[in-house]
Amino acid sequence: MAFELRKYTPPDFETEDLRSAPDARLVPAPADGVAPEGFHAMSIFPEYFRLGGRWLLAEESRMDCVPVLEDGRIAVREFRHLKKGDPVVCGRTENGEDGIFVHADGFAEAAGQRENFAFRTGRSRETSFTRDYDELRELLRYERENGKIVWVLGPAFTFDSGARDAFARLVAGGYVHALLAGNALATHDLEGAYLGTALGQDIYTQESRPNGHYNHLDTINRVRGCGSVAAFIEDERLEDGIIASCEKYGVPYVLAGSIRDDGPLPCVIGSAYEAQDAMRAQVKSATTVICMATMLHSIAVGNMTPSYRVTADGTVRQIYFYCVDIAEFTVNKLADRGSLAAKGIVTNVQDFIKQLAEGLGV
Amino acid sequence: MAFELRKYTPPDFETEDLRSAPDARLVPAPADGVAPEGFHAMSIFPEYFRLGGRWLLAEESRMDCVPVLEDGRIAVREFRHLKKGDPVVCGRTENGEDGIFVHADGFAEAAGQRENFAFRTGRSRETSFTRDYDELRELLRYERENGKIVWVLGPAFTFDSGARDAFARLVAGGYVHALLAGNALATHDLEGAYLGTALGQDIYTQESRPNGHYNHLDTINRVRGCGSVAAFIEDERLEDGIIASCEKYGVPYVLAGSIRDDGPLPCVIGSAYEAQDAMRAQVKSATTVICMATMLHSIAVGNMTPSYRVTADGTVRQIYFYCVDIAEFTVNKLADRGSLAAKGIVTNVQDFIKQLAEGLGV
Amino acid sequence: MAFELRKYTPPDFETEDLRSAPDARLVPAPADGVAPEGFHAMSIFPEYFRLGGRWLLAEESRMDCVPVLEDGRIAVREFRHLKKGDPVVCGRTENGEDGIFVHADGFAEAAGQRENFAFRTGRSRETSFTRDYDELRELLRYERENGKIVWVLGPAFTFDSGARDAFARLVAGGYVHALLAGNALATHDLEGAYLGTALGQDIYTQESRPNGHYNHLDTINRVRGCGSVAAFIEDERLEDGIIASCEKYGVPYVLAGSIRDDGPLPCVIGSAYEAQDAMRAQVKSATTVICMATMLHSIAVGNMTPSYRVTADGTVRQIYFYCVDIAEFTVNKLADRGSLAAKGIVTNVQDFIKQLAEGLGV
Amino acid sequence: MAFELRKYTPPDFETEDLRSAPDARLVPAPADGVAPEGFHAMSIFPEYFRLGGRWLLAEESRMDCVPVLEDGRIAVREFRHLKKGDPVVCGRTENGEDGIFVHADGFAEAAGQRENFAFRTGRSRETSFTRDYDELRELLRYERENGKIVWVLGPAFTFDSGARDAFARLVAGGYVHALLAGNALATHDLEGAYLGTALGQDIYTQESRPNGHYNHLDTINRVRGCGSVAAFIEDERLEDGIIASCEKYGVPYVLAGSIRDDGPLPCVIGSAYEAQDAMRAQVKSATTVICMATMLHSIAVGNMTPSYRVTADGTVRQIYFYCVDIAEFTVNKLADRGSLAAKGIVTNVQDFIKQLAEGLGV
């Protein structure tokens, strides 16, 4: 089964309804960080705005953010990034009557799939997942050559030596193009590389080391002393694990700070909103996103990932979004928020990643 | 890493305390199915009873059941199997003072492990499981030649084509020596072999078949019409799946009835207590037990599985007990009931079995 | 808010389609316990069968069972209860074209509610439940006078003294008309009344009693010695708890045996299928069913509970079905099986029952 | 049952071991934000440091942070707050041999309780919670007069009208002295006050409003337009809910930003570490902390809450820490991290808070 992208069918703007649609209404933002009343908010689907008689596609969308006309294009802005006077599209219909057209059916098969999905009313531990593994494997082979694969990792992902090694092999194999995580994931992973433990427990034998609760603090303190993760890795000649592999293969990673952090590590972005910006900078070019074992980061990234991407040559393609977690609650949470394109896999991420790496032959 | 059984160290009966221990007190059961007041109840550990000055080991134990002297040996009986007048051991101490000695430390390393386990206070999705897979793989290779591997399966196990195939390969490979399950597991599995679905959904493509909710009923009805599962499999020339494989390779399976059953299939044991007896008949010679995706059957089998086995040549060896489930609650439930020897793995059983089969090269 | 039943609107049999519908096809069962090929299976909805030119409603339905013409009425039989030659309705359409009409929209508001439900794709811990409590309270007040309230309890329900007391007050207050449970629920509850513990732990202070793991066995053994639960309660002058209250107020209870049982208690029905029959005998007149903290019994009872009831005076009314569990998986399981009329509440049943009893003023 | 604080027993510094203990070793921090090698890290227990021959208690402790001598007292600093040259206590023993004494048994009964707790290996849905409710009620009555009660709320807490009202009544009743939460909790709550919905669903009827997915964005945008939450509440004359109640009764609240935020609201602290500082400023005087329905905030606050508090008059008292969540995983997570003093209650927080408010008569 060779992987093939679904073809995108743009809207037919020659229908009577859309031909007679008015221009979208633009209203200046009344103050910095504030949208005008009646502002339009984006969905995950391709949306077109009629302006000057032409339909403009928002090329880099983000759910729940606001379309702004900028240099003849539609930019999609977070509220906090609005500037007073920015011309914001207003209107809350989706069928063109206000010059706004939301194109939910652009990927024909996708529509079919959605129907199926609805039938199941969410995925559970009892869903049959073998086909999803098969499809994902083919997808990743395609994306390694043609796309950008962004991974989002929860802190506990790196507690198991096998999972950690599998991910490092995926990095080495070219299947990881960006990593989004937090201070804890990086700390635990570096503790593994430095001392062989995570929170003081051996990541293979499960044995607790004497005074092992110091291990993550010692790791953080050493990194802070070295001044950077890269310097620490070099000083200590670390080779294994997620972060060391990213450093070695030049994979960019964004570490967002959180209120539960110790330390933090030097490169962690303390501001939630600067972290959002840094994450969106990676997601803006992503074609496949895989979230594992994190609700916070999955929702954060899910919110900023639309269902489509406009590629360099102007074609519109689908974005694939996977959420892998042992809790149905987490997996189904994204669907509840409107990210219907998300595909959930309910399992322990350790097994998911080991099986995926095995299937990809890395 | 070649697998080696832990050595069993019998109690030292020459200590002062045990040398001076009295004979255990035997009291006749006052009525059928009723134990005398003060009856002793068994744990999962090897227990010795002093009778006529000699220490007798209960050779086929079962937690919460009652030791009875029978033909010079200690039999362990469910309450419902007691007969009026049966000589029941009474006494509730464990250190020999009542002629009863519970030997919790017979498997030295086991004791060490228990300590570790206690530290973790239960296993969770975040436990590192790679080592458990490695050990289990070695264990199963050993047991294929030297032991008896009993599998306990919940109904949803067979919803995924890949998991079903992996289990069938384990049967073919000699890693399955008995199967304990219920009407639903067998029905879903035979529906898969017969119609390619489970509860009407394709077990690979996840698609719902038109009128697919009839599929399990049609399957059950056909089997009932054929008179037996074996006749049905032959008539329909079924080859794949769990039950067909067991039939093909002569692996005994016990299907216990439950109040949620449709049908049932002809060979299902409707009486919960006859089903218990049939299950215990298989467990009595088991050396490794693996429970997957079922709380009811896991607890039932856990209750009837002691921590040790007396083999044909009289040596005492450990029984290995695994409980694999996506819910920590299920996995940790057994430990709460005293089955400390149980090892829990928290994951989706689909991934567990596929990875295990892959690791065993089947 | 006074509670009012939804009005049932029967099908309009005068539409062109239904007027021209043929009689349903009857085919004799080919053997005991076997349905003819193409048999019809029941849904949870009211179903009408055209026979001799008249439309007959199946008055006591049960999902996945088979309609049989018997004495001019439609009986609904489990497969195992079919007799060779029984005239079974065949046909798998629902719109009348085969003389079978499934009436899914008889309770108008219900249809509207279903739509809403679909939007949520299942209930979760984050669903707002205050309205459900308010409605349930009004419903129970109505049903105490006009209906039959059947409760289904999982074994752990009785571990908490407060929950146990609340349920006993509901029994005393007239809100419990039948109880369906298993050996474990009754054993734990009687242990509570007899020794103040459940599995050896104090049901209020949470303290473990010395040698407390004998408590449930001593309780079972005493009951078996007394010959019956009633005799045990009288002998020991027990007053509190679920079972003692049912005995005191003459509330019938069915205890189904299972493979995890110790004992069992004398009145437990060992055969899964005889237990099903005894349960259905209670459910056949139920108008509200509330399942708490049990997946096995919830599914079993859910399968045998249709969405409607024909009352003594021939009117058709809705059956209310609640499933209360801390796990979304359990709560949503019933919906996946087609029991769309079920309403799920995701919480700890201890708090549910205490709050409900408080609200009802008992 | 009138509530009484447990008495604190200070260590006996006159034992031979402690009398002969050396002074603790102080090493200057080698750089800003970096601790010297061998630094000591704090536990949740009272810790004493021998300096100049006297034992100094760290008065405001925080797990995994570093003791620093400052103006003759022991300050406990996050790594990021260390300044080059700060005299940091080094040493990793706990029995005094390095001049460091960790006093884990200061609250006698607490020690006894811990043992019990260990037996249960964590709390589950099946733990009996009635006593915990009783104790908590008495505790809160005591703390209203004598302590400081800090509440930590997850975002979904305010989805239910009844839970929201109950919390508002607790605020009005004087049982809430500080609130720690995030942008989402405040947004959902203000949406409830402003539009009667949470994420577009009516918080009582559960009905979805047309275009309701705009409601939280409209709320955020309005607040941003008003310039502050207080101005918004005044402008819109809002009265109900959590945030409006806190504003009305002058209860301080800290809203920490996160990467999943929309907006954010004006008063949200975007920096994770400034948010930590603001949270700790509240926690520093807390005597009871109650976390509901949030893993992120529970862990964050759990990490910064020691087991004791030194009150204004110099006495040492216990801090009570509750974690209420429907997931055992969350509830037990804190214990795994060493916060053994935490008491978990496994239930839906809606029911918890309604029952608690009812019990307190507000």
pLDDT digits (tens, 9 = 90+) for D190-248: 999 999 999 999 999 999 999 999 999 999 999 999 999 999 999 999 999 999 999 99
Closest to B151 measured CA to CA, from B326, B293, B30, B346: B293
What pLDDT score was predicted for residue B1?
56
D116 has a pLDDT exceeding 60: no
Mind listing the pLDDT tens digit for each residue in A300-323? 999 999 999 999 999 999 999 999
Using an 8 Å Cβ cutoff, are A180 and A243 in contact?
no
Q: Which of A117, A130, A354 to mutate to test the interface with B (most CBs of B within 10 A)?
A: A130
Give the residue-averaged pLDDT of B262-270.
Answer: 97
What pLDDT score was predicted for residue A2?
73
Using an 8 Å Cβ cutoff, are B159 and B203 in contact?
yes
Among chain D residues, CA nearest to B330: D124
Q: Where is average pLDDT lowest: A134-148, A327-341, D6-20, D285-299?
A: A327-341
Q: Please name the residue ranges forming H helices in chain A.
A: 16-19, 108-120, 130-146, 161-172, 183-195, 215-226, 229-235, 242-249, 272-283, 295-303, 328-336, 349-360
Q: Which of B124, B330, B334, B339 to mutate to test the interface with D (most CBs of D within 10 A)?
A: B124
Ranges in chain C, pLDDT < 70: 1, 108-121, 335-341
d(CA C115, CA A222): 57
Contacts D261 to A, Cβ<8 Å: 272-273, 276
Closest to D144 measured CA to CA, from D362, D291, D314, D340: D362
B276 has a pLDDT exceeding 50: yes
What pLDDT score was predicted for residue A232?
98
Chains near A with 3+ CB pairs less than 8 A apart are: B, C, D
A110 has a pLDDT exceeding 80: no
- B115 — pLDDT class (breaks 50, 70, 90): very low
Q: How many helices (H) and strands (E) does chain B have?
A: 12, 17
Give the residue-averaged pLDDT of B346-359.
Answer: 98
d(CA D22, CA B330): 50
DSSP state of B207: P
Backbone phi and psi for residue C168, each to the nearest 5 degrees, phi listed first: -60, -35
Beta carbons within 10 angstroms of residue B53's beta carbon: 8
Mind listing the pLDDT tens digit for each residue in A38-87? 999 999 999 999 999 999 999 999 999 999 999 999 999 999 999 999 99
Closest to C107 measured CA to CA, from C323, C316, C327: C316
- B122 — pLDDT class (breaks 50, 70, 90): confident
Q: Which of A64, A262, A270 has the CB atom closest to D271's CB atom?
A: A270
Answer whether B125 sits within 8 Å of D328, measured CB to CB.
no
What pLDDT score was predicted for residue A342?
82
Size of interface C-D (CB pairs under 8 A): 110
Answer whether C121 sits within 8 Å of A124, measured CB to CB.
no
Q: Which of D336, D337, D340, D346 to mutate to test the interface with B (most CBs of B within 10 A)?
A: D336
Contacts A346 to B, Cβ<8 Å: 326, 348
Give the residue-averaged pLDDT of B309-318.
Answer: 94
Tokens describing residue C130: 């205050």
Q: What pTM does this model have?
A: 0.95
What pLDDT score was predicted for residue A1?
56
Answer whether A262 sits within 8 Å of D34, measured CB to CB.
no
Answer whether B332 sits within 8 Å of D122, measured CB to CB.
yes
Answer whether B220 sits within 8 Å of C79, measured CB to CB.
yes
Q: Which of A163, A204, A326 has the CB atom closest to B326's CB atom?
A: A326
Q: Where is average pLDDT lowest: A117-131, B79-93, C90-104?
A: A117-131
B357 forms bridges with which residues in the sheet? none
Among chain B residues, CA nearest to D117: B121
Contacts B224 to C, Cβ<8 Å: 33-34, 79
- D267 — pLDDT class (breaks 50, 70, 90): very high
Give the residue-averaged pLDDT of B135-151.
Answer: 97
Q: Where is average pLDDT lowest: A106-115, B223-232, B329-338, D190-199?
A: A106-115
Contacts A354 to B, Cβ<8 Å: 130, 355
Instruction: Give B327 to chain A, closest Cα distance, Å.
Output: 8
Contacts A122 to C, Cβ<8 Å: 121-122, 332
Q: Which of D125, D329, D335 has the CB atom closest to B121's CB atom?
A: D335
Give the residue-averaged pLDDT of A138-161.
Answer: 97
What pLDDT score was predicted for residue C335?
66
Among chain D residues, CA nearest to B121: D121
Q: Where is average pLDDT lowest: A100-114, C71-85, D133-147?
A: A100-114
Closest to A194 measured CA to CA, from A233, A245, A248: A233
Answer whether B271 sits within 8 Å of C258, measured CB to CB.
no
Q: Which of B114, B117, B119, B121 to mutate to test the interface with D (most CBs of D within 10 A)?
A: B121
**Dihedral sign, CA of C351, C356, C362, D3?**
positive
Separation in Å, CA C346 to CA A122, B258, C324 = 17, 25, 6
Among chain A residues, CA nearest to B328: A326
Mind listing the pLDDT tens digit for each residue in A350-362? 999 999 999 999 9
Using an 8 Å Cβ cutoff, are B186 and B256 in contact?
no
Instruction: Give D155 to chain C, closest Cα distance, Å.
Output: 10
A246 has a pLDDT exceeding 80: yes
Please state, for a pLDDT cut of 70, what percent of chain A lies above it.
94
D117 has a pLDDT exceeding 90: no
Q: Which of D131, D206, D352 has the CB atom closest to C204's CB atom?
A: D131
A225 has a pLDDT exceeding 60: yes
- A336 — pLDDT class (breaks 50, 70, 90): low
Answer whether D122 sits within 8 Å of B335, measured CB to CB.
no
What DSSP letter does each residue of A18-79 carry, written as one string?
Answer: HHTPPPPEEEE-SBTTBPPTTB----SS-EEEEETTEEEE-SS--TT-EEEEETTEEEEE-G
D119 has a pLDDT exceeding 50: no
Contacts D296 to A, Cβ<8 Å: 258-260, 296
Instruction: Give B354 to chain A, closest Cα distance, Å.
Output: 8
What DSSP letter does each residue of D310-360 carry, written as one string?
Answer: E-TTS-EEEPEEEEEES-HHHHHHHHHTT-TTEEEEES-HHHHHHHHHHHH
DSSP state of A95: B
Mean pLDDT, chain B, integer: 93
What pLDDT score was predicted for residue D333?
83
Answer whether A273 sits within 8 Å of D296, measured CB to CB.
no
Tokens describing residue C120: 């949520």
A190 has a pLDDT exceeding 60: yes
Using an 8 Å CB-CB cutoff, list residues of chain D that contact chain A. Answer: 30-31, 33-35, 39, 41, 64, 78-80, 92, 211, 213-214, 217, 220-221, 224-225, 256-264, 270-276, 279, 295-297, 299-300, 303, 327, 338
Pairing of strands C149-153, C288-292: parallel
Among chain D residues, CA nearest to C163: D130
* Radius of gyration, alpha carbons of chain B: 22
Q: Which of C120, C167, C343, C351 to mutate to test the interface with D (most CBs of D within 10 A)?
A: C351
Contacts A121 to C, Cβ<8 Å: 118, 121-122, 332, 335-336
Q: Which amino acid is at D116?
A: N
Q: Give every CB contact of residue C25 below 8 A, 6+ residues apart in sequence.
A: C89, C90, C91, C98, C99
Contacts B211 to C, Cβ<8 Å: 92
Q: Which amino acid is at C130?
A: T
A111 has a pLDDT exceeding 80: no
d(CA C357, CA B203): 45
